[in-house]
Each structure stands twice: as C-alpha cells, then as structure tokens.
Amino acid sequence: MNDNMRFAAATGVGSMPGTDAREAAKTVTGSVEDFPFLAELPARGPGADMIGRTAGMLVELYARVEPSGWRIGDRPGRDTKRARSWLGEDLDALEEFTQGYRGDLKVQAVGPWTLAAALELKNGEVALSDPGACRDLAASLIEGLRLHLAEVRRRVPGARIVLQLDEPSLTPVLRGRVRTASGYRTHRAVDRQTVEATLRDVVGVHDGGPVAVHSCAPDVPFALLRRAGVAAVSCDAALLTERDDEAIGEAIEAGTRLFAGVVPGTDGPLSDPAGSVMGVRTLWRRLGLGPGLLAEAVTVTPACGLAGASPAYARQVLAHCVRAARSLADNPE
C-alpha cells in the first residue's frame, strides 16, 4: 500500500453531540489522538447541520433555510452568516487543542451529489433536476473547499489533512431514487460517467492529499469511487453484503483504504473491542486477503455520526474504536 495513503487506525465520522465547540474538540483530540477530526455539532440548529455547514462554504452561491429545507438564494443572509460563524468557532476550538500536532487530521464536507440532491433551486426543485445547476454547484463547492483546506492548513500546519466528502445520497442519485418536490415522482438517474467525473474534479481540489468518501447508506459504489480517485471509502460495515465483495476486494488491492463503521452511533451496550471487528475479519477471509493487510488497509470508525448519542457514549465510542483497531492489529487472524 502506498505510504502516502496510510492512515491512523481509528477516527470518527464527523458529527458529535452537544453545542459546545471546545468540549467537542477536547473530546475528539483526547479520544482519537492519532487521527482527530473537525467536529460538527448539528444540535446548534440550521447552519450547523451537514447541508447548512457545507452551504456556508460555497463561493458566490448562498443558501437560506425555507420550511422545505435549504434553498439557493442571491445573496448571503443570516443563515449563511450563522453557518460561517459556527464553522469559525469549531476551527478556533480545533486549533486550540491541536497545538504542535503532527499527523492525520480529518475535515468533512458534503459531496457534490448529496448537495445537489438537498439544495433547492428557486422553483423548489433540488439542484439535481438541472444539469447546469449541478455544474455550478460543484464549481462553487470546489472553490469553497480550496479556501477551507487552506484555512485548516494555516491553523494546524503540522497536520496531513484528510478531506472526507459525505455522500449518503450518492446511490439514490445513481439509481434515480431522489424524490421530486411533490413527492410523487423521482428525478432521473444521473449518468455514472457524469457522477464519476464530477467527483474526480472535487477530489482534485485537495492537490494530491487524501480524500475519503463517506456513506452510511447501503450499496456504496466502491468501483466508481475508486475510479474517481478517492483514497478511502467510509461506510457502515453492517450494511456490506457478499454482493459488495468483488468491488471491495478490487478497491483494497488497488490501495483504497476501508474506513469500517463497526460501532453503533447511538447509545447502547458495547461489545468487547475484538467482537466489534469480527465482521471485518469475516469479510477479509471471504475476500481471501492476507490478514497482515488488515491493519494497513482498515481504519475503524463508528457506523455513522454521533450527533444522536449522549456525550458520555460519544466519548466511549471513540475510545472503543481505538481499542478495536488495536485488536485488529494485534490479532489479525
């Protein structure tokens, strides 16, 4: 596996419970200290949610909250300003707790296709309904991510930044399952080559740095993501089936890392760390891959974000992921 595609053994997905940026940054940097991430706190309200946060990063495109969701508008309003303000707070907190840090650091943003499936145009239909709007949105996202990544590098200069694109709507976009505003129809499937090309353009914004794509939905398109140039695919391991085996095996053999979501994101009893990664070991045996590759190719994460967890459980889960990753490395068989 290419050395510049190696990642630390455990990290989180992105969202955390609560509304206190300093507390979240302290928890993250203390729990997954080899691979911290910029925490997202959606409990603060619109603008701190996944879509609103990324909408606030866009360049020369603005969005505001309507009863139906986020809608693209002509000028920055209070919703855009609030999203940018909260992102600034989160960056301040991260900078405070990563003084002198050297290692992997993950930041998250919504990818171009989930953004197109969520942001409404003036007519109330999502941007996905208009190929021109999709292109404009992707171009704006690329510029916004360029600025965001530069800001994170400035604040944490010793870190290797890993960009995670959240794409839970990617499979519905590819299969024509995104509903229209009326709810009675669905938007046409987007051509796979168009989806792949747009993702490749967005991945390219990171100037050779590693990009992961996260989806906690079923049927993640591993082969398409590999061709688009992503360094890692992040998914809920419980949703993987034998149908995915060939694509996962090809991706891993080509050097793509698997961010395996193995720990539930909402409060409940935790198994022992070795038990949490049993499914990953089973997958590995099914794929016929050498057990020695496990620690090199797998990063352990929660199954999805932790916004719905209690603060105490969120801390437990991140620490549990670190122990589970250690179990994989110590006992790959």
Q: How confident is the model at residue 93 (pLDDT cuts 50, 70, 90)?
A: very high
**Average pLDDT of the residues in 296-318:** 96
pLDDT value at position 207?
Answer: 87
Helix (H, G, I), strand (E, B) or coil at 269: coil
**Average pLDDT of the residues in 270-292:** 91
pLDDT value at position 7?
Answer: 77
What gap in Å lies between CA 177 and CA 182, rounded to an integer? Answer: 14
H/E stretch holding 107 reads strand 103-110
- Is residue 218 within 8 A of residue 197, CB to CB? The reply is no
Residue 4 has pLDDT above 60, yes or no: no
Q: Which residue reads 């997958």 in tokens?
A: 283
- H runs (alpha helix) in 156-215: 170-175, 192-203
pTM: 0.96
What gap in Å lies between CA 138 and CA 157, rounded to an integer? Answer: 27
Q: How confident is the model at residue 3 (pLDDT cuts 50, 70, 90)?
A: very low
pLDDT value at position 271?
Answer: 87
**What pLDDT, in 10s, does the model give residues 51-89?**
999 999 999 999 999 999 999 988 889 999 999 999 999
Residue 216 has pLDDT above 90, yes or no: no
Measure the CA dihedral 233/234/238/241, to 10°: -10
293 versus 169: which is more confidently predicted?
169
- Is residue 118 within 8 A of residue 124, CB to CB? The reply is no
Ordered domains of the chain (ranges, CATH):
21-330 (3.20.20.210)
| CA dist 125 → 149, 198, 228 (Å) | 30, 21, 27
Residue 50 has pLDDT above 50, yes or no: yes
Query: Which residues, listed in sequence order, are joined to residue 300 by a DSSP beta bridge?
Result: 10, 260
**What pLDDT, in 10s, does the model give residues 120-174?**
999 999 999 999 999 999 999 999 999 999 999 999 999 999 999 999 999 999 9
Residue 41 has pLDDT above 90, yes or no: yes
Q: How confident is the model at residue 5 (pLDDT cuts 50, 70, 90)?
A: low
Measure the CA dihedral 307/159/53/93, to 10°: 70
- Is residue 31 within 8 A of residue 312, CB to CB? The reply is no
